[in-house]
Amino acid sequence: MNITELVSTTNNELAQLILQVKTVFIYLSVIFAALFVYFFVQFQKLMAQKLELMKSLLRTPEAASGGGVISRWEEIVRHFESSKEAEWKFAIIEADKLVDDLLKQAGYLGDTMGERLMNIEQGQLLSLQGLWEAHKIRNKLAHDVNYFLRYAEARQAIKFFEEALKELQVL
């Protein structure tokens, strides 16, 4: 056997080895892709179950009978429909309290509404960003007594609170 035959044989063996390694990596890639899809689907199911659990916890007997939550919301809307800025401020603060009470009932941890909102993952509540915006407006009202609340800003905050309450199926 001369050197050319030896190199040719070694190259063929090396090519076969590379082909086998490629095949193994292709199979591993397919397996990992399938596992990724499987775990992603399981995660989505888990998030949906968690959202349903949260919604069921929020359906208190008082709310189910058309009591507490609906009557509180109607009172909030009455204040918002006033032509007075002070009434709009009151409506926003009360709407924030209402949502905060519901988040507490759902078991979200935190000492404040802001902390509870941070404990909600983005996929759990589609209206989360709007809730944050409405809560920021509430904070401006609570911390600055001279804050001038425009009607459009008040309307937007009330809309965000209402969207969250509808998504939570308490309205």
**According to the model, what pLDDT value does residue 171 have?**
85
**According to the model, what pLDDT value does residue 33 have?**
96
**According to the model, what pLDDT value does residue 66 have?**
42
Kindly report, residue by residue over 16-72, the tens digit of the pLDDT.
888 999 999 999 999 999 999 999 999 998 888 887 777 666 654 444 444 588 999
The verdict on 132 and 75 lying in the same domain is yes
* Residue 105, domain member (yes or no): yes
pLDDT tier at 153, thresholds 50, 70, 90: very high
Kindly report, residue by residue over 74-106, the tens digit of the pLDDT.
999 999 999 999 999 999 999 999 999 988 888
Q: How far apart are CA 25 and CA 135, in angstroms?
A: 50
Is this prediction's pTM over 0.75? no
pLDDT over threshold 60, residue 140: yes
Name the token pair of 70.
């609906």
For the chain, how many structural domains are there in total? 2
pLDDT over threshold 80, residue 7: no
The verdict on 9 and 67 lying in the same domain is no
**According to the model, what pLDDT value does residue 9 have?**
67
* Residue 93, domain member (yes or no): yes
pLDDT tier at 1, thresholds 50, 70, 90: low
**According to the model, what pLDDT value does residue 62 have?**
46
The verdict on 16 and 68 lying in the same domain is no
**Cα R_g (the chain), whole angstroms:** 29
Range of the domain at 91: 61-167
**According to the model, what pLDDT value does residue 6 have?**
57
